[in-house]
Chains A and B, each alone.
Chain A
């Protein structure tokens, strides 16, 4: 187990270098002039361009730039935007908002998805089952921006139950609708996976044994059946958590949440390559670590999986 963990952490190093370099190269390759429109209506003064080019090593080739960037990164310095603001700062203010939204979305999708999945898996072909099947199909088929705008309009404008956008305080009650929007597609997948998994395991021999032992039904289902059926659901939730922590460009945009997704979008539009790379680097790290956590969770759920 310890050796497995060490090996997995070591594997992260080449993956990390590879992905960051690719991102760096991609952003570098995007055509366009970072100084276009920087100085109002007119062209930027030559001294300014020369100063900025020197400060940000813009005349160097990509490998030198990447090496310099990585050097600073290892010191914990993500660099600065062209306006001189620290990127560490930007990430530090935006990331907590994204995390909050991610947690709310995850709770909603796990809570509703799992409940719906278990109930329909135990009793298939009933009214509830058909309702869940049809509604999940809708959620999977509809793009996020449609679900987002429709719910924002319904709850925020038409019924006025909540404010249509999220304030900077990020109160929990404000995040329920955005969280639902963000988690809706995954929630539908989780409901379906849980349903199939429960229905499949319900006829398993060990469930029959548990019944034959005279255990109460809630224990047969809640302990013996659920524990086995959760394995594929946890996989789904884990990978999804990685994706959720990557910010939600569309959802954050619709509800005006100052999260990491909006920052990335803004940086891409304004050609702030250093910011884009830095944020994506953080996301890559988070995603890799989340994957590792999910892999370790498997062993906790299924003892037949051994790490060596």
Chain B
């Protein structure tokens, strides 16, 4: 256990939703490695975050930062082998899911924690109708009759604003457009009214205009149902409107956690600063785009000290020796940088 201190905001249970109070979902010092023929890749190296009822946590990071693997571990759909959990806890209502029986975990899926995936075309089963795949939840998990399940499924499709839901019930996934398919995916994952929804890059595969619609829909449903939502993304634009808090991941660690406003206004980690700086800006049209120099570290051989130090413009000798712990630097803020205080108090 590292001495990680994170936010103590958003008192749960005070919202009158009737849901049990206390932390809904907590990931605590989670460690996951991938054992491959070429060696052991340390993909998750002590990730800690939590989400409460009614709030949206955005997990931000580039490809390979471990944000999806964390989500897969929470859901219990990590491919084993090669992935192995080597430490930490994933607590749902205070109980460690990693210690539960397979059957107990299965019951939580869909009902306690549900997930929507990035590529809806491959994530939906191509040989069953969209309606069947939604109704299946009511039939198998709730034991409803075929007719009742169909009625409920049509209601769900209607709720995610699929036009002519009744008529489209019998369509196959390939007969839907990308946006409609993602809506169906949302309907399917919300069918059992889950308390936590994990959205793994839900808009990456979509057109920009459709992206906004899907994000709006997700935000709306999250507020209505007072769900805790974990939004995994690499798109800073998507995050700003929907998220309450943001956790930035790098090389399998959380490097910064903050409220959306704070993070955009005063990033407390050079990596976050670099990410924000590399958003293309209209007033710099024609100039070269700014990037973070270098590449993310090889997870089989993470550099000593701060994993970001080879790419960090502020790196000092201490960064190559000591791993900076994720320390609280203000109300609901934490950063894993030796110079976090200086960064925040700059300007």
Contacts and interface: CB of A to CB of B under 8 A. Distances in A.
B115 A302 contact: no
A88 B125 CA distance: 49
Counting chain A CB atoms within 10 Å of each CB, which of B75, B126, B127, B172 scores highest?
A: B127
B123 A224 contact: no
A228 B174 contact: no
A301 B127 CA distance: 7
Interface residues of A, number: 22
Contacts of A224: 125, 128
Contacts of A228: 125-127
Interface string B109-120: 111001101010
A171 interface: no
A212 B140 contact: no
* Interface footprint category on B: 20 to 34
A206 B136 contact: no
Contact of B127 (A208, A209, A210, A227): A227
Contacts, number: 74
A232 to B, nearest CB: 13
Contacts of A212: 75, 77, 109-110, 114-115, 117, 189
A17 interface: no
B146 interface: no
B266 to A, nearest CB: 37
A213 B122 contact: no
Contacts of A45: none
Given A208-B77, A303-B172, A304-B172, A214 B125 contact: no
A227 B126 CA distance: 10
B166 to A, nearest CB: 19
A219 interface: yes
B111 A214 contact: yes
The secondary-structure label for the interface of chain A is helix
A203 B72 CA distance: 14
B124 A209 contact: yes
A212 B123 CA distance: 11
Contact of B122 (A206, A301, A303, A304): A206
B148 interface: no
Interface string A184-223: 0000000000000000000111101111111111010000
Given A214-B108, A302-B126, A303-B127, 9 more contacts: A206-B124, A209-B123, A211-B76, A212-B114, A213-B114, A213-B137, A214-B109, A228-B126, A303-B174
21 contacts: A205-B122, A205-B123, A206-B123, A209-B124, A212-B110, A212-B115, A213-B141, A213-B189, A214-B106, A214-B111, A214-B192, A224-B128, A228-B125, A228-B126, A228-B127, A302-B126, A302-B127, A303-B126, A303-B129, A303-B172, A304-B126
**Which 10 residue pairs across A and B have the least CB separation, nearest first?**
A214-B109, A214-B110, A205-B122, A206-B125, A303-B172, A205-B123, A209-B123, A213-B110, A212-B115, A227-B127
Interface of B: 75-77, 79, 106-111, 114-115, 117, 119, 122-129, 136-137, 140-141, 172, 174, 188-189, 192
